[in-house]
Structure 1
Amino acid sequence: MLHAAVEEVRRAGMPGLFVEVRDGEQVWRGAAGVADVGTARPVTADMRHRVGSVTKTFTAAAVLRQVEGGRIALDAPIGQYLPELVPGERGDAITVRMLLNHTSGLAEYLPYAYPSLKGFPVVADTRPDSLDDHRFTRFDPVELIEMGVTAPAVGTPGGDEGGAPGVYSNTNYLLLGQLLEQATGIPAEQCITRDVIERAGLRDTGFPTGTHVEGPHSRLYEAWFGMIDPPRDYSVYDMSWVGPTASLISTVSDLNRFFRALLAGDIVSPSSLEQMQRTVPVVSQEGRVIAYGLGLHPLEGTAPGPGAFWGHGGTVWGGGTLTMTRDDGRRQMSVAVNMQRWNGLDPEGRPTPHPIDGALADLCRVAMYG
């Protein structure tokens, strides 16, 4: 069933994907399609991959480790630590917890760093030109944070009396990267590597040291809702545009290993894990309201509580990842795909359903419950 489900995603139009599913001690790895549409080089299940916002779970775990050590307080205002980055009343009102669960009200910096995406999240008002313009741009995280902090707020810190949900924003996690550096005296990527990646015993996971993915990997094809046709390879890219919010490179096996250890209480303490699993409503980048904790959330189709699948999804230009682990740690799936934003747009400029969407949903169902 798993092999057929993976093949169906390829037949639906995905160039290549690779998966690891675990059920207790049983492990299934599979791959379908190509890593390079020009040479027909096949994908393999052990390839390294840019995992996008799955990085946030690693960053959140590193912050919780510092909370356990008494160097950061979850409900302290960020202005106490980084007054120059979030000054004044906002710095006093926004707490570390609000950054972790996206209830700070801080706007997304990306449309300001990438001018052709200025209309986002209204996709029809965007163009993909900036993706090429910034392929080798070295961004300063402080400058990116300033773009998000000075942009019009997208909500009230902590929510408002009407119960409006938080809004997912990468600005929050760039600030957490600066917070880790302030608390530890070393770059956030070093801190996350030391306290989380090495603690979990991950051998094929790390932050990029240049514009290439080291080791066996796939090309990454970006379609930007049909505006890039044929889809263009963005596997070579300077990932400073996301840093500790979404630049991590890993494998599907390492992701399963990490989330199994996290949910077992081996990365952060059980009380910290409980904090990570305390969810609030947040509007995702796709415009859906989801339950979101501290860098961790229950996946679609499950709710917090026994039997929930916890994890995170992630995208970069051309690449996508989804990882999910049942709360008892026994059932897991991590999947990587090498094309993004495959949907077309309807006359109103909204993404239209695509066969890949249904095939991926079927794969997740088989992996979770099959």
Structure 2
Amino acid sequence: MDGVHRAGMPGLFAEVRDGDRTWRGASGVADLATGRPVRPDMRQRVGSITKSFTAAAVMQQVEQGRIRLDAPIGGYLPHLVPGERGQKITVRMLLNHTSGLPDYIPYAFPSIRQYPSPQASASLDENRFRHFRPAELIELGLAAPPAGEPGGPIGVYSNTNYQLLGQLLERVTGTTAEEYITRNVIQRAGLRHTEFPAGTRINGPHARMYESLYGAIDPPRDYSVYDMSWTGTGAALVSTMEDVNRFYGKLLAGEIVSRSSLAQMQRTVPVRALDGTMINYGLGLHKVSVEGCGTFWGSDGTVWGARTMALTRDDGKRQMSVALNLERWNKPDSSGKPQPHPIDGALSALYRQAMCGDTTAQRGEDTP
């Protein structure tokens, strides 16, 4: 962790579990201006780790017969996904990103398409206190050019899918998705420091969150105060590394959803992530195979200024959750392509040691 900090990460903190043993640590600063240090128990905006919580909530409703995985979303939400598209796209396709619906973020934050210009950050500032409605974000995604055909062999990662799943949960439970997830996933897992934020600030001790936007914001800007309605049931959760590990441990032990539901969640397809890389994605779960160390399940998560990586080995005995307070640190070359940074290699070494227990473990092709 000190190596990641020395490589340029302002601050990071983590929890690693190995059987009955738990290690927690932190390195660096939570605030560049004051030098306030990071602590292992700090809260973090965990980004798309939220999707695992949302998917678990959907699977609970599948178990109760209120949702069918292979039913068309248009049957539940005809006002949001009307016509032929609503009949072709199923709930499963939303969960595993094979719906063909594009991500709405480039349209909700249009200035980021101006990267690598310094003006690329304009939308981040303009939307800091803007409150989006889910239907508004869904409409942006549906109006954009399709990312593929529904049910295609290769998925395309899209936050539009998980906005729709939030609306589906509201439709079948009669309460907001955030309230349902809080009662039936967060509380069921016994998490004490995990919540959907009620306002623009994070409750409790936390680090400032520095966004570089691939060098377009220099020096990086703090976005820890932000209205998270732009991502909602896709990536808005605040949590701690202890809580995140506890959640994935309970999920993989069959204590949040049934074993048969978990098996459905672990059926993966190839999905192109937002950064262009290929990942193995199930229903709200990312599969990572590490040579010599086993198969891990979990998710990474990014929001403006923060990244979190959480992975649990399939036997539940080895877990890691790591929080970073700088995001999109890779600066571009003359063609605009982000270039490798020392942080990348230092993070890989940290992840390998956290997952495998030593620094000599070989990196598998799916290793984050």
Q: TM-score, normalised by structure 2?
A: 0.95
Query: Which residue pairs with 1:38 in the alignment?
Result: 33
Query: Which residue pairs with 2:80 in the alignment?
Result: 85
Q: 1:279 aligns with which of 268, 291, 294?
A: 268
Q: How far is the alpha carbon of 1:307 from its aligned partner?
A: 2.6
Amino acid at match of 2:3: E
Q: Is 1:256 aligned to residue 245 of structure 2?
A: yes
Secondary structure of the 2:120 match is: coil
Once the two structures are overlaid, the 10-residue window that deviates more, 128-137 or 294-303, is: 294-303
Where do residues 318-337 of structure 1 align in structure 2 (5 Å cutoff)?
318-337=305-324
Q: Is 1:361 aligned to residue 329 of structure 2?
A: no
Secondary structure of the 2:225 match is: coil
Q: How far is the alpha carbon of 1:117 from its aligned partner?
A: 2.0
Q: How far is the alpha carbon of 1:302 from its aligned partner?
A: 6.3
Query: Which residue pairs with 1:346 in the alignment?
Result: 333
Looking at structure 2, the residues matched to 99 and 32 of structure 1 have their Cα atoms a distance apart, in angstroms, of 37
Query: Which residue pairs with 1:308 in the alignment?
Result: 295
Query: Which residue pairs with 1:65 in the alignment?
Result: 60
Where do residues 5-20 of structure 1 align in structure 2 (5 Å cutoff)?
6-20=1-15
Write out per-residue CA displacement over residues 88-122 of structure 1, whole angstroms, 9 at most, x where no aligned residue: 00100000000000000001111111120236xxx
Q: How far is the alpha carbon of 1:360 from its aligned partner?
A: 0.6
Where do residues 285-300 of structure 1 align in structure 2 (5 Å cutoff)?
285-299=274-288
Q: How far is the alpha carbon of 1:289 from its aligned partner?
A: 1.4
Aligned residues of 1:307 and 1:328 also touching (Cα < 8 A) = no
Looking at structure 2, the residues matched to 321 and 170 of structure 1 have their Cα atoms a distance apart, in angstroms, of 17
Q: How far is the alpha carbon of 1:124 from its aligned partner?
A: 3.6
The 3 A distance-change label for structure 1 pair 300 and 232 is farther
The 3 A distance-change label for structure 1 pair 339 and 300 is farther
Q: 1:182 aligns with which of 165, 168, 171?
A: 171
Q: 2:183 aligns with which of 189, 194, 204?
A: 194
Looking at structure 1, the residues matched to 272 and 258 of structure 2 have their Cα atoms a distance apart, in angstroms, of 28
Q: How far is the alpha carbon of 1:227 from its aligned partner?
A: 1.2
Looking at structure 2, the residues matched to 339 and 287 of structure 1 have their Cα atoms a distance apart, in angstroms, of 20
Q: 1:218 aligns with which of 181, 204, 207?
A: 207
Q: Which runs of 4+ in 1 moved over 6 A?
A: none
- 5+ long unaligned stretches in structure 2: 358-368
Q: Is 1:138 aligned to residue 125 of structure 2?
A: no
Q: TM-score, normalised by structure 1?
A: 0.94
Amino acid at match of 1:110: I
Q: Is 1:51 aligned to residue 46 of structure 2?
A: yes
Q: 2:259 aligns with which of 267, 270, 274?
A: 270
Looking at structure 2, the residues matched to 263 and 104 of structure 1 have their Cα atoms a distance apart, in angstroms, of 25
Kindly, what percent of the aligned residue pairs are identical? 65
- 5+ long unaligned stretches in structure 1: 1-5
Query: Which residue pairs with 2:145 in the alignment?
Result: 152
Secondary structure of the 1:348 match is: coil
Looking at structure 2, the residues matched to 280 and 299 of structure 1 have their Cα atoms a distance apart, in angstroms, of 12
Q: Is 1:97 aligned to residue 92 of structure 2?
A: yes
Q: 1:114 aligns with which of 109, 116, 139?
A: 109
Secondary structure of the 2:103 match is: coil
Query: Which residue pairs with 2:363 in the alignment?
Result: none
Q: How far is the alpha carbon of 1:301 from its aligned partner?
A: 3.8
Looking at structure 1, the residues matched to 8 and 148 of structure 2 have their Cα atoms a distance apart, in angstroms, of 38
Looking at structure 2, the residues matched to 257 and 107 of structure 1 have their Cα atoms a distance apart, in angstroms, of 32
Looking at structure 1, the residues matched to 87 and 139 of structure 2 have their Cα atoms a distance apart, in angstroms, of 17
Looking at structure 2, the residues matched to 231 and 297 of structure 1 have their Cα atoms a distance apart, in angstroms, of 29
Aligned residues of 1:104 and 1:157 also touching (Cα < 8 A) = yes
In the alignment of these two chains, the number of paired residues is: 356
Looking at structure 1, the residues matched to 344 and 78 of structure 2 have their Cα atoms a distance apart, in angstroms, of 43
Looking at structure 2, the residues matched to 74 and 220 of structure 1 have their Cα atoms a distance apart, in angstroms, of 37
Q: Is 1:231 aligned to residue 220 of structure 2?
A: yes
Looking at structure 1, the residues matched to 243 and 126 of structure 2 have their Cα atoms a distance apart, in angstroms, of 32
Q: How far is the alpha carbon of 1:205 from its aligned partner?
A: 0.4
Aligned residues of 2:289 and 2:295 also touching (Cα < 8 A) = no
Looking at structure 2, the residues matched to 236 and 254 of structure 1 have their Cα atoms a distance apart, in angstroms, of 22
Looking at structure 2, the residues matched to 128 and 299 of structure 1 have their Cα atoms a distance apart, in angstroms, of 32
